[in-house]
Amino acid sequence: MENLEIQPKSVKMTHLSWPIIWWTLMFALAYSVIRYHLMGGVPWKDFPFFILNKAISLSALILLAINFTLGPLKNLGVGISNRWMKSRRLVGIVGFIQVFIHVFMSFILFKPAIYPKYFEEAGTITLMVGLSLLGGVLGFVFLWMYNVSFNSNFRNDKDLLKFITSRKVLLIAMLFTGGHLFFIGINGWLNPAGWHGGMPPISLVGFTFFLVGYIINLAGRKDK
């Protein structure tokens, strides 16, 4: 790192994306391991997929919240350095890639044997899970639209491009994602006695990041 300090032109020094991404992932991993394996007694054999899916989804949510909250925070007068501001793009892209991984992993895992609480006896999903998955799918689609807009020939359609990159799309995507977390988690949130080691469920940790980020956005976003 020291070497990079004396090279002002180095791209690496102009942003903090990788440390932000790394420490966010480490936090999400540590939280998941402590809550589910150490406090909750989930067998370690479930780490590589079931628990990793939770950690990746939490990491994705925090990265997306960082991506869309730094600008509004700065507008509100909070001193955010340029290195943080310049990290937003890569942090958002990696957040989106992690959502992608979460979606793939969730599709593979989504069975009554793995998530008995999400299914009724007849094998159909509960209302809350249906609402949650609807939020997840719509959140994912809007996030996708937002990402794709930077790379495709949507560029030729000025109005569409203006809408998709206005970041309103990101706000819509995050709102659906908030719904996804609310409906999947609300029953567990209301039962603190069942929280492993007193630690809130990952859906609630994620929802808190979403809510704080969203409020900051509503207060500080300029292109409303």
| C-beta of residue 24 within 8 angstroms of C-beta of residue 63 | yes
Residue numbers of the site for ligand HEM (CB under 6 A)?
A: 53-54, 57-58, 60-61, 64, 99, 102-103, 106, 110, 133, 136-137, 139-140, 143, 177, 180-181, 184-185, 201-203, 206
Shortest Å distance, C-beta 48 to ligand HEM: 14
Q: In 12-47, which positions are buried (b, 16+ CB within 10 angstroms) versus exposed (e)?
A: eeebbbeebbeebbeebbebbbebbbeeeebeeeeb
Shortest Å distance, C-beta 57 to ligand HEM: 4
Q: Which parts of 149-167 fold into alpha helices (H)?
A: 158-164
Nearer to ligand HEM, 85 or 103 (CB): 103
Name residue 125's beta-bridge partners. Answer: 119
Nearer to ligand HEM, 84 or 207 (CB): 207
| C-beta of residue 129 within 8 angstroms of C-beta of residue 183 | yes
| d(C-alpha 94, C-alpha 100), whole Å | 10
Nearer to ligand HEM, 4 or 215 (CB): 215
Shortest Å distance, C-beta 95 to ligand HEM: 7
- Ranked by CB distance to ligand HEM, the top (closest) residue is 136
